[in-house]
């Protein structure tokens, strides 16, 4: 950033560009959020509260919390073990492994759901065996959890791998030479070094886990009160023309998005140097 007059844009250019950028963002980001709130409160606070207290809505909220409570810890375990293996050791095929971990990000959410239907569904590869043993995965909660783990798979790993690679192996090697065990080293040396990055990955992972629509929609079967997560419930209410209900549930998800953004920005401002994401060019 230089204030040299030769390369400073004239004031009218600055004002015009800032105005254009803010107008674009206002139209595309602020207005949709405002619309969610306005539609949810269209018939007053009482209708809003009633919509949120509906049994099916409460069931959807519970299921969404349950799915996130399983998917996020699984991805933390995966992210930690993948980044430990990749950052602390050299082995052949590492680049391939990293691109496999990133794979779910380049698959359409609908296809992410489809592959589980093809594997576990009635016509699927394992379908007959599962039916024989009375195990239900697709159109039941296990399918929803699996699809959620799939779409959020890279979040924690992709934040931790570059961070741990950058921090190197010296501190761990020192701890081990001084007699600490592997788990003790992980707990007292590695984790404190990557804790903000880990939290950052968990935040993004959680937001996606609670908000995923496409993949979960394909595997859920849309059974009201049983296999409907919050985003799916939004769709059902919307298609039944219960707009206050749909936007009321949507407002909770929008709140989650705002909290996630706030926490993420706070992390970026305070612990900028301890995050991989803010330094990735």
Partner 1 sequence: MMARPPNLRVIPGFDTTLGLTLALLSLVVLLPLAALVLKAAGLGVAQWLAIVTDPRVLASFRLSFGGAAIAAGLNGIFGLLVAWVLVRYRFPGRKLVDAFIDLPFALPTAVAGIALTALYAPNGWVGQFLPFKVAFTPLGAMLAMVFIGIPFVVRTVEPVLQDLESELEEAAACLGASRAQTFARVILPVIAPALLTGISLAFARAVGEYGSVIFIAGNMPGVSEIAPLLIVTKLEQFDYVGATAIATLMLGLSFALLLAINLLQKWNRQRMGAAS
Q: Could you say which residues in the range 142-201 bind partner 1, by CB under 8 A?
A: 146, 149-150, 153, 169, 172-173, 176-177, 181-182, 185-186
**Could you give the CA distance from residue 271 to residue 259 in angstroms, rounded to a whole number?**
18
**Could you give the CA distance from residue 150 to residue 216 in angstroms, rounded to a whole number?**
10
Which is closer to partner 1, CB of 52 or CB of 176? 176
What residues between 217 and 276 interact with partner 1 by CB under 8 A? 217-218, 230-232, 234-235, 238, 243, 246-247, 250, 253-254, 256-258, 260-262, 264-265, 269
CB atoms within 10 A of CB 162: 19
**Selected range binding partner 1 among 11-19, 55-63, 128-136, 191-199, rule: CB under 8 A:** 11-19
Which is closer to partner 1, CB of 191 or CB of 258? 258
Q: Pick the binder of partner 1 from 158, 198, 202, 212 (CB under 8 A).
A: 212
Which is closer to partner 1, CB of 38 or CB of 53? 38
CA angle 120, 100, 257 (to 5 degrees): 80
- Minimum distance from residue 52 beta carbon to partner 1 (Å): 15
Q: Kindly tell me the sign of the dihedral angle through the C-alpha atoms of 167, 163, 258, 35.
A: positive
- The reply on whether position 123 binds partner 1 by CB under 8 A is yes
**Selected range binding partner 1 among 46-54, 118-126, 128-136, 191-199, rule: CB under 8 A:** 118-126
What residues between 95 and 114 interact with partner 1 by CB under 8 A? 97, 100-101, 103-104, 106-111, 114
Size of the site for partner 1 (CB under 8 A): 103
Which is closer to partner 1, CB of 235 or CB of 274? 235
Contacts (Cβ under 8 Å, ≥6 apart) of 146: 116, 137, 219
Contacts (Cβ under 8 Å, ≥6 apart) of 206: 68, 72, 260
Distances (CA, A) of 83 to 143, 151, 157, 163, 186: 26, 18, 6, 9, 12
- Minimum distance from residue 143 beta carbon to partner 1 (Å): 11
Contacts (Cβ under 8 Å, ≥6 apart) of 122: 131, 138
Q: Pick the binder of partner 1 from 91, 132, 134, 178 (CB under 8 A).
A: 91
- The reply on whether position 1 binds partner 1 by CB under 8 A is yes
**Could you give the CA distance from residue 141 to residue 31 in angstroms, rounded to a whole number?**
35
- The reply on whether position 6 binds partner 1 by CB under 8 A is yes
How many Cα atoms occupy the beta-carbon half-sphere of 38 within 13 Å?
Answer: 6
Q: Pick the binder of partner 1 from 60, 68, 116, 227 (CB under 8 A).
A: 116
- The reply on whether position 49 binds partner 1 by CB under 8 A is no
């Amino acid at each position: 950033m230089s204030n040299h007059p030769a390369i400073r844009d004239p004031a009218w250019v600055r004002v015009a560009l800032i105005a254009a950028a803010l107008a674009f963002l206002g139209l595309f980001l602020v207005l949709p959020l405002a619309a969610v709130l306005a539609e949810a409160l269209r018939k007053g606070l009482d209708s809003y509260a009633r919509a949120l207290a509906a049994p099916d809505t409460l069931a959807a909220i519970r299921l969404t919390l349950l799915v996130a409570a399983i998917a996020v810890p699984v991805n933390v375990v995966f992210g930690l073990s993948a980044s430990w293996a990749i950052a602390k050791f050299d082995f052949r095929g590492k680049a391939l492994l990293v691109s496999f971990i990133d794979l779910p990000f380049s698959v359409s959410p609908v296809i992410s759901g489809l592959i589980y239907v093809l594997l576990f569904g009635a016509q699927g590869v394992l379908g007959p065996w599962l039916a024989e043993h009375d195990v239900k995965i697709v159109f039941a909660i296990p399918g929803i959890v699996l699809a959620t783990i799939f779409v959020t798979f890279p979040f924690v790993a992709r934040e931790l791998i570059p961070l741990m690679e950058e921090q190197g192996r010296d501190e761990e090697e020192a701890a081990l030479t001084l007699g600490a065990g592997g788990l003790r080293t992980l707990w007292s040396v590695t984790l404190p070094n990557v804790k903000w990055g880990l939290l950052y990955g968990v935040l993004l992972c959680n937001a996606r886990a609670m908000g995923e629509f496409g993949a979960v929609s394909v595997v859920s079967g849309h059974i009201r009160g049983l296999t409907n997560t919050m985003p799916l419930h939004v769709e059902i209410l919307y298609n039944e023309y219960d707009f206050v209900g749909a936007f009321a549930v949507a407002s909770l998800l929008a709140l989650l998005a705002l909290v996630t953004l706030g926490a993420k920005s706070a992390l970026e401002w305070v612990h900028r140097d301890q995050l991989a994401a803010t330094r990735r060019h």
